[in-house]
Structures are given as C-alpha cells and as structure tokens.
Amino acid sequence: MTKRLFSIVLISLLLILGHGAKAQVEHHDFWKFSTEKISKSELYLVFNVKIDPSWHLYAPSNPPGGSLPLSISLKASPDYQSDGKIIEVDTPIKVYDEIFQKDEYYYENHATFKIKIKILKPVDFDVKGTIDGQVCTPQGRCINFDHDFSIHVNGSQYKPSTAITNQPQKTKKEEQKLNVSIKQKKQQIESTAVIKTTPIKINSQNTNNPDTAARKVSLKPTGYTPILAVNNPWSGQGKKQNLWWFFWISFLLGLAALLTPCVFPMVPMTIAFFIKGKDKVRGRINAMIYGISIIVIYTLPIAILVGITNVLGGENLSADFANWISTHWLPNILFFIIFLIFAVSFFGAFELTLPYKWVNKISKKSEQGGLAGIFFLAFTLVLVSFSCTGPIVGGILVESTQGGAILKPILGMLGFSLGVALPFTLFALFPEFLETLPKSGGWLNSVKVVLGFFELALGMKFLSIADQTYHWGLLNRDVYLSFWIVIFSLMGLYLMGKIKFAHDTDVERIGVLRLFFIIFTFAFVVWMIPGLWGAPLKALSGYLPPKTTQAFDIERFTLGHSTAGICDVPMYSDRLELPHNLEGYFDVYQALNCAKKQKKPIFVDFTGHGCVNCRKMEEYVWSDPRVLKILQNDYIILSLYVDDKVIQTPKSRWFISLADGKMKKMLGKQNADIEIVNFDKNAQPFYVLIDWKGNVLARPMEYDTNVDDFIKFLKQGITNFKKLHPF
C-alpha cells in the first residue's frame, strides 16, 4: 500500500512540475487612431487606447522624476504642422506614490488623447510618429512600450493654412522647477543607494540596412542612473528554439521502453487480438486506432495541463516559474532525488505500480468492444506497463522543465507515445514480421537496468545546477566526471555479467550486440578520463560543470591567468570566472568604465550556471582560436549570470526593477532583470554588442554553434563601433 501511495504522489508531482513555459514580449496597451475635423484647415489626431485589466497607463501630465509619462512624437512633414501638445480628453486618476514620494497620474481601462495639426497643403498624406509610455500593475510591475503609428489624413478636403511659427516654449521658471526636481531625485537616490533601470530609446541611423547599422540611443531624463538600459531594436527577430531534437530523443526512449519486461511480452498478445478473425482489414484499422489511443492517453493530459497553467497563470507567471524551476535549489534537488528513485527502481529494488483497482476497472471496460473498448485496451497497456515506462516518462517531463518552452513537455510526450505506439501498429499491419522478434528473456531486464544507469548519470545534472547556482562547491567538474566514470564503468561490468541485480539471469555467453555495447561503454569511459585534467570533452559540454570549476586544469596551469588586458580587478572574480582564461568583468559599471578608457566595444554575455547551451557555445565556439583572439584583443567582455542566487551586490548597486517594481539586491536577479526589461528575453545564451554610451552595434545573437557566423557577428560589431567612434 505504501508503494502504491508513493507512486500516486510521485505521478501527481511530476504532472504538476512537468510543464514548460514561454516568455514573450508583453503587450497590455492597444491603440486605435482616427481624425476629427475642427475647421477648414485644422483637425485633431485622435489616439484611443484600451488598457488591459489590472494595468494602468501613466498620463502625459505625469510629473518629471516619477514613472515614465506618455509621449507622442510626430514626424516632421511639409504637409502639416503641429505644436505637438497632447490634449488629455479624460481625467486621469491621481495616486500618491511612496517610492517617488509625489502624486502620479494614470489611466485605467481606456483613455483618449488628441493632438491638433494644421494642414499646409491640399493633398492626402499620412501622419507618422511614435508613442512612448509605460504601463504598470498595482503591484509595481512595469513595462515600457514604443509603438510606431501612421494616420491617414484626407488633406485634399481641407484648405491650406499658414505655418505655425510661434511654438510654446517652457518659461524660465518651469525649466528651473524641472531642474530642481531632477536634482532632488538624484540626491534622494544617492542617499538611499537605490537605482532604477531606465530604458534607453534607440533610434536607427539613416541607413537602408538594419542588419549592419549601429543603433543610436539617448537617455530620457528621469533622474535615475541606468545600470544598463537598452532596448532591442531587433526584438522578435531572433532564432526560435528548435525542440525537434527533444522530440526525437523522446521517440527513441519510447522505442527503448518497448524493450522492457513490462511492454515487450505484450506485443505478440496484443497483435494476436487484432489479427484474429476473418475481417483482416477491420483488424488492422482497429490496430491503428489502438496506436492513436496510446498517443492520446500519454499526450492529451499533459497538453491540457500546460494549457490550463498558461491560461490561468499567464505568460508572466509562467516565465517566472520557468526561471525558478530551472535555477532554484529546491526543484533541482527534488529532480535529482526523483531520478535517483527511478534508477533504484530500474535496478530492481522495488517497482512503481499503480493501484490494482485502477488497472482492473480499466481492463473490464476494454471488454465492451467497439472504439471505446479499443481505447480502454490501450489504457490498460499504459497502466500495466507503468513500472517500466513511468520512470522514462517522468524523466522526459522533468527534462522538459529545462529551457522554458511551452511546447517541450507536449512534444516530449508526443515523441515518447509515438515510439511506443508505432511498433504495435506496424506489427498489426504486417504480422509476418512478428517471427523476426527475439524471444522474451533475461535480456529484457538488462535493458531496464541499463536505463537505470542512464537515469542515475543524467540525474546528477540537476544536483550540479543547484551546486553551481549556490556556489556550494560539492560537485565540481572533476568530481562530477569521477562519478560518471564510475557509473559507466559499472554499467560496462554489468553488461559483461560481472555484476547482477534482482531479476537478472546468468550471462552464459556474450552476444555480438552486447559485445558492441560493452566496447562503446568502456570507450566512453576512457574518453572521459583525460577530462579529469582539463580535456575539453566538448560532446558533454552541456551536461558537465564549466571548466572553471576544475581543481586541476593543465591549460590554466600552463598559461596562467592575469588581468593585464583589462583596467582593474573584476568584482566577484572570487566566485565567477570566464572560460578559456579570458579576461573580463561580471559587473556592468566596471565594464562600461573600462570600455570608455580603452575605447573598445563591449561583448555582453547573458549566461547562467545551469545553462546547457551556454557551456556548448563556450566549448564549441568560444574555444576557436579566431574567436578567442577577437574577444581578448578587440572587446571588453561582460559576463552576466542571470541565475546566481548567492552573490549580493554592494548597496550602491541596488536598484528598483522596472519589470516588477521590487528591490534587486542579488547579482543574478539584477542581470535577469536587465535582459528581460531591455531585450524582451529571458533565455540564455544571449549575446549583445554595445559601446560605453549604450549603442547596440549589431543584431543580438542567440545559440548558434556556427563559428563563422559568430565571427561575422563580432566583426560587424567592431565595424559599426569604428563608424561611431572614428578615433
């Protein structure tokens, strides 16, 4: 009874945790544009905005030094002229803000604004411009927006007017009041040591090539010091995550599950059920329905769970949950324990079984015939085979939580169920191939045990993530490799028959297939051994801790490490280190200051301790001599770890997040906030090239192991840097 209860709890836990998430650019303001005639030569441009519930939009009249007010900029044109003054049709809500210590004004649900223009020519034309502003929740989570717009005006219906020559100017008293307000806010920040990230508006220079043009930025005078504030002008144009590799791996695991003692013996029994009788065509159709039913049973519940979670939780909650589940010690330690339990189960210590009442109830329903009977027959297979398939399914669901992609758990279950269902369907369509199947025997349990060794090895990845994120120092690269070398050595000995587990039979002789598995296993072990002394082991770069955690690295021992190429000793270098003996910073201010002194562009590396693809990029791309030369000689490297949970920045570097309004003290949270607010990204690796003024020098780059593309990316940044700074 205890084992059954444990199994039920474990399944429920996996279903709760085993869903992905997706972080996208948020959009909570929706605009409509129209015109309203005033006279024969004048009209209003009308801006109607609908605001999502629980969000509010700050008014154009919001005072300086507070939240970002709405601004509407019109592009100059010979067809019309305007003083650009925004008329607020509705009355904004007035609320005292504790952070800014002043009254602020904003709108909820909807608002209307107008700008008056005068027609200069009797022709039809378009009024183009941009809308900048900020929407926030009552909890303080804020998002900046920058929209382009175009409003068509039937100017031929109006009579031209003379140009506006007297545009209103700020009085000297108003300017002094504004300057005093900004000065007071700066003094307040210095006294409280709080910094708020301030977005920088990026305007493209005059160019016809958006891919190669540098992007110019300018600060908005809010009175706050920016820690790093740039928007991504190429937002939404990056490469999308390719998840098909996960689908095919899950498919292969489904085929592997077929070769376990719980599933394999059921193949001939099930096929015999479908091919019996005279109506062979009907039997084959039923077999295909049976296979489709298996896919539905495995995939549909996960798809429904993911859909409900994302609908109820929203994209923001899902993104936060994905980040928490990927980097926090609690879920990672829990996943490690789950994999350990799965491995012990495969080794034969116990079986994860479902309550017999469930199995018997579903089995009886399979006898009712028809489509429902076929569906419940497939359901019976899923339940009966759970002791073998459960750990594999659990492993796929746990792995799907890494990466934050909403489709990952769905694709994983689709691939696994297809791997299980396809053989049943094919053998029912071509029953003559049943004779080619090997007979059941002890080899089935061997497959199960080998899967247990893999579960044990892969589970260490989650323990390693927690160890790196919190700097425990328990599982450095050499320690991790030692465990893997021992695990796979034991697997090789098991395949040779030198080690036996429960339910194993004696290995009287070694077949050819088993021999090849033994050779590959020990070859893999021998290949890993040099990694104990610093060999790169690129094929495992995504699963091993970084080389910087290696206790003894021949490359580091022979080349040494210095800070001769940078301006000063990097902050946090006692805990963080760049790969391949590169020199650089982990603090934004240090990098900006050094880049200004040395007159170099900055290579910003958004990375993470638990980032698999970051390690792959470092081992496959950064390690190339051409890339290393460019990074070391032509750039100031700024590596920003987004998942560090331990390092607390000095008080002078604390800031209030523009994303959620919360105080950011930890280095990892600050870096994650910088990436999300400025680039609409929360995935790593993510590479940005900037200068010390905030100019983005090339299209930001994501995971791409093509070395030539990476070199082209770096050189493009250097070219644009030289155009902006022709020293």
pLDDT for 50 equals 92
Q: Please report whether residue 479 resides in a domain.
A: no
Query: How does DSSP classify residue 696?
Result: B
Tens digit of pLDDT for each residue in 556-568?
555 444 444 788 8
Contact status, residue 388 vs residue 262, Cβ threshold 8 Å? yes
Element (H, E) at 49: strand 42-51
**What is the gyration radius of the CA atoms in the chain, in angstroms?**
31
Whether residue 217 has pLDDT greater than 50:
no
pLDDT for 332 equals 80
Among 175, 196, 229, identify where a domain stops: 175
Distance (Å, whole) CA 477 – CA 481:
6
Those residues with Cβ within 8 angstroms of residue 402's Cβ, 6 or more apart along the chain or in another chain: 326, 610, 612
Distance (Å, whole) CA 77 – CA 456:
68
Q: Please report whether residue 106 resides in a domain.
A: yes
Distance (Å, whole) CA 593 – CA 417:
55
Whether residue 25 has pLDDT greater than 80:
no
DSSP SS3 for 688? strand
Whether residue 372 has pLDDT greater than 70:
yes
pLDDT for 181 equals 45
Among 122, 141, 175, identify where a domain stops: 175
Cα distances (Å, whole numbers) of residue 571 to 360, 556, 633: 63, 20, 21
Tally of CB atoms within 10 A around 193: 12
Q: What is the CATH number of the domain that holds 87?
A: 2.60.40.1250
- Tell me which residue range forms the domain holding 92: 29-175
Identify which has the larger pLDDT, 726 or 710. 710
pLDDT for 584 equals 92
Distance (Å, whole) CA 551 – CA 376:
56
Q: What is the CATH number of the domain that holds 720?
A: 3.40.30.10
pLDDT for 310 equals 61
**CA quadruple 495, 496, 501, 505: dihedral sign:** positive
Whether residue 473 has pLDDT greater than 60:
yes
DSSP SS3 for 639? strand
Q: Please report whether residue 156 resides in a domain.
A: yes
Among 125, 153, 175, identify where a domain stops: 175
pLDDT for 692 equals 83
Longest dimension (CA), the chain: 103
Q: Please report whether residue 689 resides in a domain.
A: yes
Question: 4-8, 332-336, 693-697: lowest mean pLDDT where?
Answer: 4-8
Q: Please report whether residue 135 resides in a domain.
A: yes
pLDDT for 180 equals 47
Whether residue 14 has pLDDT greater than 50:
no
633: nearest Cα among 583, 569, 699, 588: 583
Whether residue 485 has pLDDT greater than 90:
yes
Q: Please report whether residue 150 resides in a domain.
A: yes
Helix, strand, coil share (%) of the chain residues, nearest 5:
50, 15, 35
Whether residue 526 has pLDDT greater than 90:
yes
Tens digit of pLDDT for each residue in 168-195?
444 445 445 444 444 444 444 333 333 3
Render the burial of 143-169: b for 16+ CB within 10 Å, e for the rest.
bbbeeebebebebeebebbeeeeeeee
Whether residue 247 has pLDDT greater than 80:
yes
Render the burial of 380-397: b for 16+ CB within 10 Å, e for the rest.
bbbbbbbbbbbbbbbbbb
Whether residue 204 has pLDDT greater than 60:
no
pLDDT for 631 equals 93
pLDDT bracket for residue 601 (50, 70, 90): very high
Q: Please report whether residue 382 resides in a domain.
A: no
Strand partners, 115: 45, 86
Share of the chain above pLDDT 90, in %: 15
Q: Count of H helices and E strands in the chain?
A: 19, 20
Whether residue 23 has pLDDT greater than 60:
no
Would you give the distance in Å from CA 80 to the centre of its chain? 46
Those residues with Cβ within 8 angstroms of residue 313's Cβ, 6 or more apart along the chain or in another chain: 321
Would you give the distance in Å from CA 74 to the centre of its chain? 36
Give how many domains the chain has, as a whole number: 2
Cα distances (Å, whole numbers) of residue 679 to 71, 217, 237, 617, 702: 21, 14, 11, 20, 12
Q: Please report whether residue 422 resides in a domain.
A: no
Whether residue 407 has pLDDT greater than 70:
yes
